[in-house]
Structure 1
Amino acid sequence: MGGKNLRVRRFFSRGDGRLVLFPLDHGVSCGPVQGIAQMETVLHYGIASGADGFVLHKGMMAYLERIPGRLPGVFMHLSASTQIGPSFHRKVLVGSVEEALRRGADGVSVHVNLGDEAEPEMLMDLGRVGEACAQWNMPLLVMIYVRGAHAPKPVTDESVEHAARVAAELGADIIKIPAPQEIEALERIARSVPVPVVMAGGTKEPDERAFLRRIHMGLEAGLAGVAVGRNVFQHPCPDRFLAAIVGLVHEGRRVEEVWDT
């Protein structure tokens, strides 16, 4: 077994092939928004509630050194842009695979927005990171969206399927995509790529049960799990809501069983 496979196993440690990622990279793009102002607190309840992995920028990984006991897997996020700047959808690299290894990460993640003016540069960066991941046996999470001036509006399921295929073709070990509209699109995506696909939580959803039903639908369609950020850390009871998501993904429970309020 190669080094990459061992690292991937740290994210899929339950042995069921499913994954709950807790992305916490929002501080660069959005600032200290509600829910992540006290990152150490968020990491503590993320671990206690059963998240399989975090997505963190390099500086926030220092908090993990203070937490005793076993840690989930950690993807160090290599992409960045801010809402303050003129090109929010243009992601640039702010780290490397080698740096992630030195800092103790188990994998790296890259964000690509298809349809943006800077799509060619983002694809080039993805190629370079993928090459380095192959060299260092480092797992690569590709977060790929359809956003920007040239993206279809509204975003079509076909374009989401195209995005997933791009990530797979360019070497992703795990793919994070936004949820398409139709379950058939989820099924086609799950069948058409050779690596696990997780569904993004997306913007804050006021209807908790609808959100959980969407996760259940994705799992039924063959997706490997979810990557949920805002819908957890901006929830009034984030630890309990994350535990409910873990119950859906890993325990095969129904929405009514994990969330009865």
Structure 2
Amino acid sequence: MSKTRRMSHIFASDGKSITLALDGFYFSTKTAGIDDTIAQLPKMIENGLDAVIVTYGMAKTYENALTQVGMIVRADMSTGIFDSNVPDTAGLITVEDALKLGADGVIAMTFPGAANEAASHQVARELAREADKWDMTLICETLPYGYTVTNKASNQPDVIAAGARLGTELGADIIKTRFSGESGDARIIRNAQRPVLALGGPKANHILDYFRFVEHCMDAGAKGVAVGRNVTENENPAGVVAGLNVIIHGNGSAEEAYEAFQS
């Protein structure tokens, strides 16, 4: 199977993607809602969901539930599962492991500017080499200075843009990264030279605030989102996906997305 064919399982025919991140078990004990959300996948797919990011174990446990959606398998995990700041990561699975699961892609983090950046880049580079060998899609999740926003620079568009380009230079086919919410976020897209999925963003107090953030990311040039807790921790996960579908695949506004969410 070619990378083009695998990419078509992650992105819809318009070149955009609503990707649901369900891989929190590799990084935190704060995983409420993930298992319950999987039970709603059929409705979410109906509402526009394109792909999911899962752990190796989830791909096996929920094999039947994942047959109708693009599947990306997380290839790295936190070295400190009880530290929600994710102090470091380590490579976990190979591209061949993901192929045996029927995956359409693999994903790993890199931490440009952090003390552990060299190790994270090495994991991504080795995956890129394997991914090219097997025509597997590789997503680099490029997070300047660490997993969370740790300092002012880590959330600045020019810094995020530099990190995104580094992921491309390491061999990524897709970049997943944070957006600052500022007008300068368009630099991230220009610099990446690859399709960019906006990291889910901070947990919103109101879903309309999240939809406004997503609208901003799409206006900046993102090709979609890779979102976790803003879906899994919402009381209406399928409604959130319906709202995202309005913005991402329908080119609608945040207010229109909110109407879809409510209905």
Task: Report the TM-score, using the length of structure 1 for normalisation.
Answer: 0.90
Q: Deviations over 1:227-255 (max 9, x none)?
A: 11100110121111111111210011222
Q: What CA distance in whole angstroms lies between the structure 2 residues aligned with 1:205 and 1:224?
A: 21
Q: What CA distance in whole angstroms lies between the structure 1 residues aligned with 2:52 and 2:84?
A: 28
Q: What CA distance in whole angstroms lies between the structure 2 residues aligned with 1:120 and 1:91?
A: 11
Select 1:21's aligned residue among 19, 22, 25. Answer: 19
Task: Report the TM-score, using the length of structure 2 for normalisation.
Answer: 0.89
Q: What CA distance in whole angstroms lies between the structure 1 residues aligned with 2:81 and 2:139?
A: 23
Select 2:75's aligned residue among 78, 88, 94. Answer: 78
Is 1:168 the counterpart of 2:165 in the alignment? Answer: no
Select 2:115's aligned residue among 114, 117, 123. Answer: 117
Report 1:1-261 matches (<5 A).
3-12=2-11, 14-31=12-29, 33-38=31-36, 40-67=38-65, 71-81=68-78, 82-84=80-82, 88-148=86-146, 153-154=151-152, 155=154, 156-184=156-184, 186-260=185-259
Q: What CA distance in whole angstroms lies between the structure 2 residues aligned with 1:104 and 1:28?
A: 20
Q: What CA distance in whole angstroms lies between the structure 1 residues aligned with 2:64 and 2:164?
A: 36
**1:15/1:148 CA distance change after superposition, 3 Å:** closer
Contact 2:23 2:74 survives alignment (8 Å): yes
Contact 1:8 1:139 survives alignment (8 Å): yes
Q: What CA distance in whole angstroms lies between the structure 2 residues aligned with 1:39 and 1:210?
A: 21
User: What amino acid is aligned across from residue 104 of structure 1 in structure 2?
Assistant: G
Structure 1 gap ranges (5+): none
User: What amino acid is aligned across from residue 209 of structure 1 in structure 2?
Assistant: L
Q: What CA distance in whole angstroms lies between the structure 2 residues aligned with 1:54 and 1:98?
A: 19
TM-superposed CA distance for 1:40, in Å, is: 3.6
Structure 2 gap ranges (5+): none
Runs of 4+ in 1 over 3 A off after TM superposition: 37-40, 42-46
Q: Helix, strand or coil for the counterpart of 1:199?
A: strand
TM-superposed CA distance for 1:148, in Å, is: 4.1
TM-superposed CA distance for 1:259, in Å, is: 0.8
Contact 1:42 1:233 survives alignment (8 Å): no
TM-superposed CA distance for 1:28, in Å, is: 2.0
**1:126/1:113 CA distance change after superposition, 3 Å:** same
